[in-house]
Structure formats: C-alpha cells, structure tokens
Amino acid sequence: MKNVSEIINQGNKNAELPAWLNMRHAWSANDAKRDEGLAYPDNVIQIKNLDYKKEPDHQKWCEAVELLASQRTIGEKTSEKYSRIFYYNEPDDASNLDSERYASNSLFDIYYPAEPDAQTTYPVIVSVHGGGWFYGDKELYSYYCCHLASKGFAVVNFNYRLAPQNKYPAAIEDVAYIIHYIHENAEMLHLDTEKFYMLGDSAGAQLTANYCIIAGNAAYRSKLDFFTYDRLPKAVCLNCGAYEMDKREDNISDWYMKKEDGSYAVSEEQRKLFLSQLEYLTKDFPPAYLMYSVNDDLRFQTIHLDERMEKLGIRHVIRSFGEKHPDSGHVFHINLKNPEGVQCNEEECAWFRQYE
C-alpha cells in the first residue's frame, strides 16, 4: 500500500463488521506480510509487557535482568542459542484485534543493545506507533524498534488507548503517561533521560508532535483538561505524519473525535484547542527530522509543517524518499526489507546522536 487513500479503502470487506474492525484486520494482514521472515538482532535484549500505569516491581525487574544475564553466560559457555526475551508479565489477549483489551491497555516493551547493568545507562528513544489512532500495537513495531535498539539505544515501544473505543484525548494522555513513567523510573530502567528522544509515524507522528507542542508551551498546556507532562525530548523524528487536524474530514478522524451519535466527545473549547494545535507551535519545539514519501498523499502535511517550522526558526531538516522507488510509500521505513527504509532509519539515529 503506497498511500493513505489505498489504506483507508481496506475497510468494509465484511459487511457484518464495522469498518474500523475490517480495517484493523486488513492492515494487520499487510503488516504481517511486511515482517515475514525477519529475525531479531542478536545483540538486542527485550523485556516485554511492563505496565506504565502501575507501580513498578523493582525486585521482579532485578530478577529479569539477572535471568537474562545468566542465560547469556550459559549460552556463551555452551555455544548454544539463548533467550534474549523476558516476559515481565505473561502475554494475554492485548494483541487480539477482536478483544476489548486490544484497544485499552497500557503495556510496553523496552529493548536494550545489551543486558542492562548497574554501571550503564542508555540513551532512550520513545517510539509512538501509527495506525490512524484506531489500530496498531507494540507487537507490530517490535522488529523495527529492535532494529533501532541495535544501534545503541534503549527503545520504549508502547501501546496506547485506541479509537473508537477510546476517544480523544485518551491517546495523547497515554503518550504523556509513558514519558512520565520512564522519567520517574529512569534509574531502575537504566535510562539516561538527558538523552531522551522521540519518533513516530503517521498518527504516531501527529501524537509525537502534539505531545511536544503541549510540553513546550505552558500557556497551551494550561488550557487542556487532561493529563499532560512537560519533559521535552532532545530531538524528534516525524515520519509521514498528519498534522493539520483542522483540515481532516474522514471516518478515521470521526472515530477518534466523535461519539456514536455524531456528537463530539469533548467540549467545544477542547475540540478547538485540538484542531488548532499547530497555532501553539513555538521555537521551543525540539530539533526535528521531518520525513515523507513522494508516493504518499499525506506528503503535503509534512511540507506544510516544514514551512511553519522555517518561519518560527525551529531547527529541523526535511527529507523526501520514494522518487525512484515506487514501493516506498506511506511509513515505508517500518519495512526493514526496504533499502530506503533502512537508510532513513540510519539517518534518524544519526540525527539523535547529534544531540547526545
């Protein structure tokens, strides 16, 4: 699928199911095909299924780290493969597209380029997944995020509440909650929060930008009636995003903003603050790497954001891909089989390293 129009048309395959559920299944099948045959990097450790809305169990965390280290030691002595994955909580039905928990959980994974130890802290990337605010979870981004971790970063890969079961501002609140959690528990998680970065794609890019606008503008933040946080990343990467929310008129936006009866889920004042969020963009926005594909019909959203940032004097670069590669469409960089995607990811890691 090259662009958002094609993606939206994946809905309504089964007339007995709502369009959003049809689209979840269609997009999931496409993403599974994208990742078929991939393997996790040998140098990456995965600790899965923590919950950023619960107090951490420090003893359990230490046991996880010790177990991973002992498995590595045994593996090195025997030359046998060893597990690099620890389930902090057992998997449940949070990845089942048809379950209620799929749309409403606060689980996250954290990936390291080596077993965390008492002497080491890692620069950290928080990845905000895309999916039109109604689809997507951390499992669909695990290969991509582990690829980033293999470059020397700890990477936080998290679920947030999804539409239509959860309306705005649920998703952006959860972005604030995860960032608050990792800062409050940075010592346990071996994170260097002075080297904190964010990236997102599609709806995840919008959420990343929205979070940074809120965190960087106290006047705007004070007008919002939901949980916010004010810690800005040192730098961001915004990929194939939708940013001009006042210009969107589609079912996906309605699932995010409206109740079943067609009324808005928030007050008129809060709705206007959401739609006008770009008006609150300031020069305090973190340095940004903006990316789009020429094959994506959302490309103009990034081009217009570039123009806004230029006027405000925000440090940023803008990169386009796909000119000679028609397969590089919307969020092509998540596809680790796509050479342009790998190139883009390398550039974004280099962008972050500038700010270490």
Residue 16 has a pLDDT of 75
Alpha-carbon gap, residue 152 to 206, rounded angstroms:
26
- 191-201, strands of its sheet edge to edge: 85-87, 45-51, 107-112, 154-158, 122-128, 191-201, 235-239, 288-293, 316-321
Residue 104 has pLDDT above 90, yes or no: yes
DSSP string, 183-218: HHTHHHHTEEEEEEEEEEETHHHHHHHHHHHHHH-H
pLDDT in tens, 40-90: 998 899 999 999 999 999 999 988 888 887 776 555 555 555 578 989 988
pLDDT, position 14: 64
Two structure tokens written together for 83: 């597990």
Instruction: Note the pTM of the prediction, 2 decimals.
Output: 0.94
Give pLDDT tens digits for 107-138: 999 999 987 776 789 999 999 999 999 999 99
Read off the DSSP letter of residue 286: P
pLDDT per residue as tens digits for the range 260-278: 999 999 999 999 999 999 9
pLDDT at residue 167, rounded to an integer: 97
Closest by CA position to 98, among listed 131, 135, 133, 140: 135
Indicate the helix (H) or strand (E) that contains 24.
helix 19-35
Instruction: Yes or no: say if 138 and 159 are a contact pair by the CB < 8 Å rule.
Output: yes
Instruction: Quote the percentage of the chain above a pLDDT of 70.
Output: 92
Rounded Cα distance, 84 and 40, in Å: 9
Which pair of tokens denotes residue 55?
């107090």
pLDDT in tens, 174-218: 999 999 999 999 999 999 999 999 999 999 999 999 999 999 999
Chain segment 212-246, per-residue pLDDT in tens: 999 999 999 999 999 999 999 999 999 999 999 99
Mean pLDDT over the full length of the chain? 92
Q: For the chain, what's the residue count?
A: 356
* Cα–Cα distance for residue pair 356/353, rounded to 1 Å: 5
Tens digit of each residue's pLDDT (9 = 90 or more) over 248-262: 777 888 999 999 999
